Amino acid sequence: MFATLLTALFGVSVDCPDVLNLAKGLYMDLIQSSIWTKLQVDCCSGDQNTSPYVTCTNQRVTQIVWTGLGLNGTINETALSTGLNSLNLGNNGINGTIPTIVPSGLQYFDLRLNRIDGNLPWNLPNALQRLIMSHNQLKGPIPSTLPSGLLDIGLDDNQMTGDIPTLPSTLVYVYLNDNHFTGKCGFIPAY
Domain membership flag for residue 108: yes
* pLDDT confidence of residue 110: 95
Most confident of 9-18, 25-34, 47-56: 47-56
> What does pTM read for this prediction?
0.78
Domain membership flag for residue 190: no
Q: Say how far apart CA 120 and CA 141 lie, in whole Å.
A: 8
Helix locations, the chain, DSSP H = 2-9, 16-25, 34-39
DSSP 3-state assignment of 152? strand
64 in Cβ contact with 88 (< 8 Å): yes
* pLDDT confidence of residue 65: 86
Comparing C-alpha atoms, which of 91, 150, 87, 160 is closest to residue 124?
150
Domain membership flag for residue 161: yes
- pLDDT > 60? residue 4: no
Domain of 77, in residue numbers? 2-185
| Identity of residue 162 | G
Domain membership flag for residue 166: yes
Q: At what angle do helices 16-25 and 2-9 cross, to 10 degrees?
A: 170
Alpha-carbon radius of gyration of the chain: 17
- pLDDT > 80? residue 54: no
40 in Cβ contact with 20 (< 8 Å): yes
* pLDDT (mean) for 56-80: 75
Least confident residue range of 73-77, 82-86, 152-156, 157-161: 73-77
CATH number at 177 reads 3.80.10.10
Number of domains in the chain: 1
Domain membership flag for residue 191: no
Higher-confidence position of 135 and 58: 135
